[in-house]
Amino acid sequence: MAAEPTAADLIVKHRPTLDQALEAIRTRAYWSPHPEHPKAYGENGSLDLAAGKSAYDALLNTRFELDQPGTDGWVGGEVSPYGPELGITYPHADADVLLPAMKAGQKAWRDAGAEVRAVVCLEILKRISDRSHEFAHAVMHTSGQAFMMAFQAGGPHAQDRGLEAVAYAYAEQIRTPGTAEWSKPQGKRDPLELHKAFTPVPRGIGLVIGCNTFPTWNGFPGLFASLATGNAVLVKPHPRAVLPLALTVRIARDVLTESGFDPNLVALAAERPGEGIAKTLATRPEIRIVDYTGSTAFGDWLEANARQAQVYTEKAGVNTVIVDSTANYQGMLANLAFSLSLYSGQMCTTPQNLLIPRDGIDTDAGPKSYDEVVADLARAVDGLLGDDARANGLLGALVNPDVKARLEAAASLGEVALASRAVTNPEFPDAVVRTPLIVKLDGTKPDAESAYLSECFGPVSFAVAVDSTADAVALLTRTVREKGAMTVGAYTTDASVEAAIEEACLEEAAQLSLNLTGGVYVNQTAAFSDFHGSGGNPAANAALTDGAFVASRFRVVEVRREG
């Protein structure tokens, strides 16, 4: 049996990666230590495709043991959007027992200091990375993402976001030195002298409230930001997406134990159907930080009611793409078609409103009328998804019946430019797989507003005809200000139009992608380089990840003494 890693071992092992991450967030150039190709796994202890599948299969229809204090029952009812029941039960916790137990190890975790906390977090991420193939299945069968997306977004990309949060947390904590000698001159008299010590101290327990669609990608930043700043972390997964975060909690507890810390610094709070424990937990006095991804209604509730905590929310928004003109018409159509299709539009970053001048646009293929642009886009989506195998690989499955109902209702909101089509998944015949719906709306008709000014989460886009690009910019501004946006896209060859759109995005704090025609899509962001959300419009009060995301998760206590 190998000796367990000491903190010093972990520093030797992970400090170079931490340093690279610190450099990456400073330069924001491309960097990732987590390979995104599935075939890169299988050596040096990592699971390959087959081993990952076996590990996942072995979890099905079992009790997921975590050995947590206060376990008072077993709960679980996950059903894969692809059909099968997972049959896994998780410990249900008595918060009155679990929360005090989570506090017990905090002093040692605090005293370990920022560097040790960072490398313990990196060891957790390394073990998660080694099991990316296992996580891929867990994410696929809880979110409905197709396998490749579940592997990449749920694996290496999520791990990148977690590591990014650790890097920011570490950098923030070492901005103040551990000690300082202070000597103030007093003219001819002796100087005043003090010895000062500065210690980052945690706020308390962080609560991570997970979401259904991206349990790891949206869960890791808050989890690792809170843990790396000295807090214990309680993970409350979405009841339909427990497994990816339960695996995360188990790995974290193992690493904490092996490196000499209390495993209860990280714990799981699974819930009974309809129990709604998020509200109860989020307002407990022990909970001092909340990270949440989900509906605007509950995000607003948390911000208003979890007043004892720092609350970081990512809520709903309405994402806009302005189509003014392009020098690469086919590239634009292909890029947009992919963005609308990926994961059936079930991303907080998927474009919803495509604002197109009713008099048409200039392109490298000549002028195109509004109708032509919409028809060409519909054709591009059809072409992309014409082959069922490829469609299944891009679309994944609808995550829940609400999305399907919303999609079906949306067809009556206007003229259908592209009907949604059911795709059969031969491997999982119960999966509900749908291609995107595109509906034409007239942006000047007041009765269309209720459609395009509401989030219609799922594979639904509106091709909104506007009188001019200037009107499009005005509508963009209004949409972001009133509804929020995680992303904005725009296509234009006109410098003054580009400047106007940029100004609108700077004014409303929205993240803008311009003229994407290749292999980068408006709905994808890369850790260490792109910010996810801005924290400055109603879609989210935080960005992944910046200084503001970590700076309030700890406080600095100063002890000063005469020299």
Which parts of this chain interact with a copy of itself (CB under 8 A)? 25-30, 107, 110, 172, 175-177, 180-186, 192, 194, 196, 198-199, 201, 203, 303-304, 307, 502-503, 505-507, 509-520, 526, 529-531, 534-536, 543, 546-548, 551-552, 555-562
Segments of 141-210 assigned E as strands = 179-186, 189-202, 205-209
Provide the token pair at 336: 């947009």
Residue 45 or 285: the one with the smaller Cβ distance to a copy of itself is: 285
Minimum distance between the CB of residue 375 and a copy of itself, rounded to whole angstroms?
25
Angstrom distance (rounded) from CA 145 to CA 162? 20
CB neighbour list of residue 471: distance below 8 Å, 6 or more residues apart: 443
Minimum distance between the CB of residue 463 and a copy of itself, rounded to whole angstroms?
23
Angstrom distance (rounded) from CA 541 to CA 313? 6
Residue 230 or 345: the one with the smaller Cβ distance to a copy of itself is: 230
Residue 409 or 556: the one with the smaller Cβ distance to a copy of itself is: 556
Minimum distance between the CB of residue 115 and a copy of itself, rounded to whole angstroms?
17
The DSSP bridge pattern shows strands 71-75 and 90-93 to be: antiparallel
Residue 303 or 388: the one with the smaller Cβ distance to a copy of itself is: 303
Distances (CA, A) of 439 to 191, 353, 490: 75, 10, 19
Minimum distance between the CB of residue 453 and a copy of itself, rounded to whole angstroms?
18
Residue 434 or 553: the one with the smaller Cβ distance to a copy of itself is: 553
Residue 412 or 496: the one with the smaller Cβ distance to a copy of itself is: 496
Q: Which one, of 555, 558, 557, lies nearest residue 288 by Cα?
A: 555
Residue 167 or 456: the one with the smaller Cβ distance to a copy of itself is: 167
Segments of 32-93 assigned E as strands = 71-75, 90-93
Minimum distance between the CB of residue 114 and a copy of itself, rounded to whole angstroms?
13
Return the percent helix, strand and coil in the chain, to nearest 5: 45, 20, 35
Residue 31 or 82: the one with the smaller Cβ distance to a copy of itself is: 31
CB neighbour list of residue 326: distance below 8 Å, 6 or more residues apart: 332, 361, 362, 363, 364, 491, 492, 493, 515, 517
Minimum distance between the CB of residue 369 and a copy of itself, rounded to whole angstroms?
26
DSSP string, 384-429: HH-SHHHHHHHH---SSHHHHHHHHHHTTSSEEEE---EE--SS-T
Minimum distance between the CB of residue 85 and a copy of itself, rounded to whole angstroms?
38
Provide the token pair at 204: 């308390």
Residue 466 and residue 332 in contact, taking contact as beta carbons nearer than 8 Å:
no
Residue 141 or 315: the one with the smaller Cβ distance to a copy of itself is: 315
Whether the bond between 17 and the residue before it is cis, its omega within 30 degrees of 0, is no
Minimum distance between the CB of residue 333 and a copy of itself, rounded to whole angstroms?
15
Neighbours of 37 (CB within 10 A): 9
Angstrom distance (rounded) from CA 238 to CA 211? 5
Provide the token pair at 14: 């992970």
Residue 192 or 297: the one with the smaller Cβ distance to a copy of itself is: 192
Sign of CA pseudo-dihedral 352, 356, 362, 365 = positive
Q: Which amino acid is at 521?
A: Y
Residue 12 or 470: the one with the smaller Cβ distance to a copy of itself is: 470
Minimum distance between the CB of residue 405 and a copy of itself, rounded to whole angstroms?
32
The DSSP bridge pattern shows strands 189-202 and 433-434 to be: unpaired
Angstrom distance (rounded) from CA 74 to CA 56? 20
Minimum distance between the CB of residue 39 and a copy of itself, rounded to whole angstroms?
11
Neighbours of 195 (CB within 10 A): 13
Minimum distance between the CB of residue 424 and a copy of itself, rounded to whole angstroms?
32
Write down the residue that tokens 């009713």 correspond to.
Answer: 358
Angstrom distance (rounded) from CA 491 to CA 330? 12
User: What is residue 308's DSSP assignment?
Assistant: T
Minimum distance between the CB of residue 532 and a copy of itself, rounded to whole angstroms?
10
Residue 254 or 530: the one with the smaller Cβ distance to a copy of itself is: 530
Residue 17 and residue 32 in contact, taking contact as beta carbons nearer than 8 Å:
no
